[in-house]
Amino acid sequence: MSKAGPEFLIVFRKKSAVLIDRSIDPGSKGFLYFISPFQFVHLNMIKSGWIGLLSLLTFLSSCKKEEQTIDVSKQWKVDYSGNLISGDADGQWIPLSFSAQEMNLFNALDTADLTGTVKPDSVTSASGLFPNPSSSEVHMIFSFNGGFNGLMEFKYVIVDSHLNIQEEGAFKIQATAYSSIPLDPSESNPVKLFPQIAPGDYRLYYSLSAENSPHFYTSWGNFHHD
C-alpha cells in the first residue's frame, strides 16, 4: 500500500490564506499564500499534490489584468521652425477622438476655470510638437477660422508607453486674427511646454476647451525627449 502524500488545509481569511501542511505537524501554522478570501478548502493531495497546487497558483496569477501598452516608437522629425523633416502619414497630430480611458487621463485637469473662453468655428490646422526630438522647450501653433479672436484652454498630458502620466498641465492660449492680411487669418500665440521628464519616447495627449465646450479639439502625437 502506497504511502499517502502530504495533506494540506488551506484556510482563507479576510485578506490572506494560510497553507498548513498537516502531515509535518498537525499544529503547524504552515506557510502563507495569498489566494482568495472567505472560503475553507480541504485538499488531500497525493503524489501529484504539489503540481496541483502550483497549477492553481499559476491559474490565479494568470487572472491578473494585462497592463495596456501603447506604441510610442513611431516618431516624426521636426526642426526648430516646425518644418517636417521626416514622418509617415500615420494618424498623429491630427484631430482624433479619445477613448474613455484616454479621456480619463485629463480628470485632474478638468477643474480648470473656463470662464471667458470661446470656441472657434473651426480649428483649421495644428502643428505637431516642435522640435522633435524635443529639447528643454517645445512649441505648438494652432490656426482657426478667419476673423476669430478669443481665449481657449489648452490641456496636455505626457504619458509613457504604459499610459503612466509623467507630466500634465493646463493654461489659456490666445487666438488673434490679422485683419491686415487677406481672409483675416487667425492663429494662436505659440504654445510653449517645458517638459521636466527623463530622456526617452513619450506620447503627448492634448485638447482645446472653451466654456460649455470641453475638449472640443483632441489629438495626440509621439515625441522623443533628449
- The confidence score (pLDDT) of residue 49 equals 53
Please provide residue 103's backbone torsions phi and psi, each rounded to the nearest 5 degrees: -65, -35
Question: ∠ CA 142-106-140 to the nearest 5 degrees?
Answer: 20
Question: ∠ CA 78-82-83 to the nearest 5 degrees?
Answer: 65
Cβ contacts of residue 61 below 8 Å, gap of 6+? none
Q: Contact 189/210 with Cβ under 8 angstroms?
A: no
- The confidence score (pLDDT) of residue 56 equals 54
> In the chain, which stretches have pLDDT less than 70?
1-67
- The confidence score (pLDDT) of residue 57 equals 53
- The confidence score (pLDDT) of residue 68 equals 79
Q: Give me the sign of the Cα torsion angle 204, 208, 214, 216.
A: negative
- The confidence score (pLDDT) of residue 87 equals 86
Domains of the chain: 7-62 (no CATH), 77-225 (2.60.40.2550)
- The confidence score (pLDDT) of residue 224 equals 97
- The confidence score (pLDDT) of residue 71 equals 96
